[in-house]
Amino acid sequence: MLPENSLKWGRSDNIIRELSAYGAARKAEISAENVFDFSIGNPSVPAPDCVKQAILEAMEQDTADLHAYTPAPGLMSLRRAIADDLCERGADVSPELVYVTCGASAGLAVSMRALLLPGEQVITFAPFFPEYSVFAEAAGGQLIALPPDEKLQPDVQALKAALNPLTKAIIINSPNNPSGVIISPEKLSELCDILRAAEAEFGHTIYLVSDEPYRELVYGGEEIPCPLCYYDNSILCYSFSKSLSLPGERIGYLAVNGGMADKADVFAALCGAARSCGYINAPSLIQRVVEKCLTATADISVYKENRRLLYEGLCACGFDCVYPDGAFYLFLKCPEPDARAFSQRAKKHELLLVPSDDFGLPGYVRVAYCVSPEMIKRALPAFNKLAEEYGL
């Protein structure tokens, strides 16, 4: 007998990986330019030059030191640089409260284990990254997903109704995967007021975990409010995967708000949870690289142009789309209620679109536009035919 959960998580279909594997096979069959793979959130833009430069410079160093263990929470110089960067954004974070992680997923998995007692709940808003529920369950807790409001913003009234004595944390994600929606400063402020009221009512801390790997991916000068400036009991979970186009290198961080009353305990619990998962330190060479490239980004103008091409193209086909303020995903409302059926039908036109069911909000498909602009142009006639099938 093996643990049921581990088996379930190991076996469960991952629709994104399935579509992407299907896409790879289909490309081999009918050639790559005839398959329109919008399934996966793998940055299409290369890492900025500073990444390559930093790696080459590191190669000039004494390599025994370069590849050695670092302290578990990361190199102090990197932690200091991250804290400085967050302070410049208005947050109150000291280097001692920064933990460099193997990406945002590691940060989230560790956070859930550091915060949740068995049976406690973490609330999030649909649509949401499906791994949230895996991480909450693995920590012995439970994920409660609330439907968003009509603009796909967090529904604060639904939050108010859902908060209860078992609520230990909430996770927000802005810009959002899969919708591209950004939580406005007003909405965030309202949400934090509600959390503070609930803390007072239930007599315990409710932690706000802000999952923000897409923070840098905004295209119209929108302000991404820093949740640490709005709520003391907050933890920021960041990844360099998207901003620096380094998803495979697994590097990000957790930052605990300096204003949090039990910040030392929370940081200790994060350290312990990371240790218990077998994390020793984030990859050492890449720690040095991101320290040198902390505020750099890949050329995100490509995504901005893709967004325009795709949004205008899909609207012209007659599709109803959520205009994405950030990230590199477009959320398309399916012209039939069953998103899986729509995704299947799209496949016949070689369009690979992820049905939204696993994101907790049925009826949409996620169109990842971290692809070449040429593919979008080639795909639009196929989208058009698909629209015609639905009489759009």
Residues 16-55 interacting with a second copy (rule: CB under 8 A): 40, 42-47, 51-52, 55
> Nearest to residue 380, comparing CAs of 310, 329, 328, 319?
310
Containing H/E element for 19? Answer: helix 15-30
Residue 55 or residue 296: which is nearer to a second copy going by CB? 55
Alpha carbon distance 133, 282 (integer Å): 24
Q: Is residue 374 at the binding interface for a second copy, with CB under 8 A as the rule?
A: no
Site for a second copy in 269-288 (CB under 8 A): 269-273, 275-286
Phi-psi region of 31 (alpha: psi -120 to 50; beta: other; left: phi over 0): left
Residue 276 or residue 301: which is nearer to a second copy going by CB? 276
In the complex, what is the shortest distance from the CB of residue 240 to a second copy, in angstroms, rounded to a whole number? 10
In the complex, what is the shortest distance from the CB of residue 263 to a second copy, in angstroms, rounded to a whole number? 12
Q: Using CB under 8 A, which of the segments 8-16, 77-85, 212-220, 323-331 binds a second copy?
A: 8-16
Q: Using CB under 8 A, which of the segments 181-189, 209-217, 239-247, 327-335 binds a second copy?
A: 239-247
CA angle 183, 184, 187 (to 5 degrees): 90
Site for a second copy in 116-155 (CB under 8 A): 116-117, 131, 134-135, 137-139
C-alpha separations of 209 from 32, 92, 97, 99, 212 in Å: 40, 16, 14, 14, 9
By CB under 8 A, name the one of 81, 83, 103, 291 that touches a second copy. 103
In the complex, what is the shortest distance from the CB of residue 20 to a second copy, in angstroms, rounded to a whole number? 10
Residue 60 or residue 150: which is nearer to a second copy going by CB? 60
Q: Is residue 203 at the binding interface for a second copy, with CB under 8 A as the rule?
A: no
Site for a second copy in 58-87 (CB under 8 A): 59, 62-64, 66-70
Q: Is residue 246 at the binding interface for a second copy, with CB under 8 A as the rule?
A: yes
CA 195 vs. chain centroid, Å, equals: 22
In the complex, what is the shortest distance from the CB of residue 118 to a second copy, in angstroms, rounded to a whole number? 8
Site for a second copy in 311-350 (CB under 8 A): none
Residue 111 or residue 153: which is nearer to a second copy going by CB? 111
Residue carrying structure tokens 């996620």: 366
Containing H/E element for 66? Answer: helix 63-66
Alpha carbon distance 34, 46 (integer Å): 23
Q: Is residue 301 at the binding interface for a second copy, with CB under 8 A as the rule?
A: no
Residue 59 or residue 315: which is nearer to a second copy going by CB? 59
In the complex, what is the shortest distance from the CB of residue 70 to a second copy, in angstroms, rounded to a whole number? 6
x/- mask, a second copy, residues 158-177, rule CB under 8 A, reads --------------------
Residue 55's Cβ-count burial label (10 Å; 0-12, 13-18, 19+) is: middle
Residue 15 or residue 116: which is nearer to a second copy going by CB? 116
**Contact indicator for 370, 44 with CB cutoff of 8 Å:** yes
Q: Count of residues binding a second copy (CB under 8 A)?
A: 79
Q: Is residue 13 at the binding interface for a second copy, with CB under 8 A as the rule?
A: no
Q: Which residues, in sequence order, are CB contacts of 279 under 8 Å at separation 6+?
A: 72, 101, 102, 106, 110
CA angle 264, 268, 274 (to 5 degrees): 145
Q: Using CB under 8 A, which of the segments 4-12, 78-86, 88-96, 315-323 binds a second copy?
A: 4-12
Q: Is residue 366 at the binding interface for a second copy, with CB under 8 A as the rule?
A: no
Q: Is residue 387 at the binding interface for a second copy, with CB under 8 A as the rule?
A: no
**Contact indicator for 121, 166 with CB cutoff of 8 Å:** yes
- If DSSP states are collapsed to H, E and C, what string results for 73-110? CCCHHHHHHHHHHHHHCCCCCCHHHEEEECHHHHHHHH
Q: Give the number of other Cβ atoms within 10 Å of residue 386's Cβ.
A: 21
By CB under 8 A, name the one of 199, 211, 249, 291 that touches a second copy. 249
Q: Helices marked H in 284-362 — which ranges?
A: 284-292, 301-317, 339-347
